[in-house]
A and B are shown apart, each in its own frame.
Chain A
Amino acid sequence: MADATFFPEHAQVEAVETPLRRACRRLIRRKGAMFGLAVILLFVTVALFAPLISPFDPIAQSYTQIRRPPSDLHWFGTDELGRDLLARIIYGARASLLAGVVSVSIALGIGVPIGLAAGYLGGMIDAFLSRVTDAMLACPYLIFAIALAFLLGPNLTNAMIAIGIATTPIFVRLTRGLVMAVKVEDYVEAARAIGNPRWRIALKHILPNILPSLLVQATLSIAAAIIAEASLSFIGLGQQPPAPSWGSMLNAAQRFLVNAPWMAVWPGLAIFLTVLSFNLLGDGLRDALDPKER
């Protein structure tokens, strides 16, 4: 106390910037990432409050309003069953965002523990897990997801599980590589030296240090998962009619391209904007979290 009054400049020691704060500060400077974040938040809000925002019921058909171009009443026009396209885009955001987040969560939930085990334990376990991962990565992403969704049966939940499983090997390989790089660091050695059990080192010392890279990949994977969900719905293996999904809307739109091109514009634009935003945010996060750029 006496010291503080004697040396006033010591009273308030400048707070050391935490890594999280630094990352946020660097992220905010990136216009692309901020644009992406803003669009994502917009779509999340729209999806959450869809019943309040939507001007019409997304599945209400109207035989007097079939394939009407955009107008004051129907801003985005109507589809082949007279349903309002804006309402269907708004409700479709639910399926797309849900599919993106849930499938990547599945991939993280399965992939990260397996990757941690492979990278940290090494030996035969690693050799086995790596070969299985190689084999899964050898199946092209979308074709693998189609095969899985096909076997599980066509609905949105199964499509999300299928995309999640198809995404899993990416996280196994990434986590394994990161763990291998981190486990030789001094602080891991120190943690081992003071007698921490292995699971504790893996969870408390290694995992927090590889989280930034996992976060970047998760963001980019959400973008890929949203395209995959739209593709599965386009094929008829995702969201089932009459529930709206951007992918199945595009499938219907393809048949009316000559008479009702607006039907194809909106869902495609919605997918493009969402995917672009997640890609921008992912790129921004990578730059903001990259220790080499500090």
Chain B
Amino acid sequence: MLTFLAKRLLQLVPTLFFVSVIIFSLLHLLPGDPALVMAGEERDLAVIEQVRHQYHLDEPLLLQYLYWVDGLLHGDLGRSIRWSDDVSHLIARTLPVTAQLAMMAIVIAFAIGIPAGIVSAVKKDTAWDYGANIFALWGISTPNFWLGIMLIFLFSVKLGWLPASGYVPLSEDWKTSLSATIMPAFVLGNSIAAILMRHTRGAMLQALSSDYVRTARAKGLYERTVVLKHAMRNALTPVITLGALELGTLLSGTVLTEQIFSIPGFGKLIFEAAFSRDYAVVQGVVLITATAYITLNFVADILYVLANPRLRS
């Protein structure tokens, strides 16, 4: 187990290194003057010159990269031109908001996706199965932002049950907070529920046709016990680790969803940074999301091994 951990940890280093190289080279390999891009809408020569000097853009590329990585290792992600603040502050401010939304979305996704997948596998080729499959197709094919707009139209404009915007932190007023985040959380959870349902269905079908399930049935156990205790326990391990990898989908989804519901989170930060051409923020956000994804991937791998005794030795 320790050697596996060490090996897996060592693999992280080159991946993180390449992530940093890719994000760094994005700005420098693409056509256009980096100083001009970083200065944003500002076209004042003095400002551009200042940016050029501040980010060492007048020095060799390798040195620029080392300066940048050195800054990263000290927690310096650059400065936002639009908000006149450190990128790390902006991210630290918006991340908790998105974390709340993401947690709610994951709960919704698991609450819908796992039962739907189990039912459709147990009742394969029945109306239940077809229904669950149609739900999955709908979830995968609906653009997040359209679903968000339609939900606002139905629940805010027509019925007036839920606010279309107006986020408040959970600690301030949990009722208002939940009512303002339930729609975007559903929008985000919906597509992940569809993916989880498909994974669960596949894993359950495999588990249900295995020898130990046949043995359990032959023993005369109740079907409910066979499905929930024998098949499900074995089927869900890979599904949960696969679910962890949907973090990327979730983070991608927050960009438009938070914008539509005016939630001041991570996604809205990316949206506004892209809209106002604030390079440092876009770069910092990509770096943080990639690092988060790699870390989660690592944790998921370890959990998978821990949950599967055969892989543990």
A-to-B contact residues, CB < 8 Å:
131-132, 134-136, 138-144, 146-148, 150-153, 223, 227, 230-231, 234-237, 250, 253-254, 257-258, 261, 264-265, 267-268, 271-272, 275-276, 279-280, 283
| Pair A143/B289 contact, Cβ less than 8 Å | yes
* Docked complex Cα distance between A92 and B283 (Å): 31
| Pair A139/B37 contact, Cβ less than 8 Å | no
Task: Give 18 CB contacts A-B under 8 Å.
Answer: A135-B16, A138-B19, A138-B291, A139-B293, A143-B252, A146-B274, A147-B274, A147-B286, A150-B279, A230-B145, A234-B145, A236-B274, A250-B149, A257-B149, A257-B157, A264-B150, A268-B143, A279-B141
Q: Looking at chain B, what size class is its interface with the partner chain?
A: 35 or more
| Pair A143/B30 contact, Cβ less than 8 Å | no
- Tell me which residues across on chain A come within 8 A of B271, comparing CB atoms: 235
Is B302 part of the binding interface, using a Cβ–Cβ cutoff of 8 Å? no
| Pair B15/A135 contact, Cβ less than 8 Å | yes
Knowing A146-B274, A271-B143, A279-B141, say if A139 contacts B290 (CB, 8 Å): yes
* Docked complex Cα distance between A139 and B275 (Å): 20
Interface string of B185-211 (1 = CB under 8 A from A): 000000000000000000000000000
- Tell me which residues across on chain B come within 8 A of A227, comparing CB atoms: 143
Chain A residue nearest to B296 in the complex (CB): A138
Q: Give min CB distance, B168 to chain A, whole Å.
A: 22
| Pair A147/B146 contact, Cβ less than 8 Å | no
Secondary structure of the A contact surface, majority rule: helix
Interface string of B264-297 (1 = CB under 8 A from A): 0000001100110101001101100111011001
Knowing A275-B143, A279-B141, say if A147 contacts B283 (CB, 8 Å): yes
- Tell me which residues across on chain B come within 8 A of A275, comparing CB atoms: 141-143
| Pair B251/A143 contact, Cβ less than 8 Å | yes
Is B256 part of the binding interface, using a Cβ–Cβ cutoff of 8 Å? yes
Q: Give min CB distance, B35 to chain A, whole Å.
A: 13
Knowing A264-B153, A268-B143, A279-B137, say if A135 contacts B256 (CB, 8 Å): no
* Docked complex Cα distance between A275 and B137 (Å): 10
| Pair A223/B141 contact, Cβ less than 8 Å | yes
* Docked complex Cα distance between A267 and B251 (Å): 24
| Pair B18/A134 contact, Cβ less than 8 Å | yes
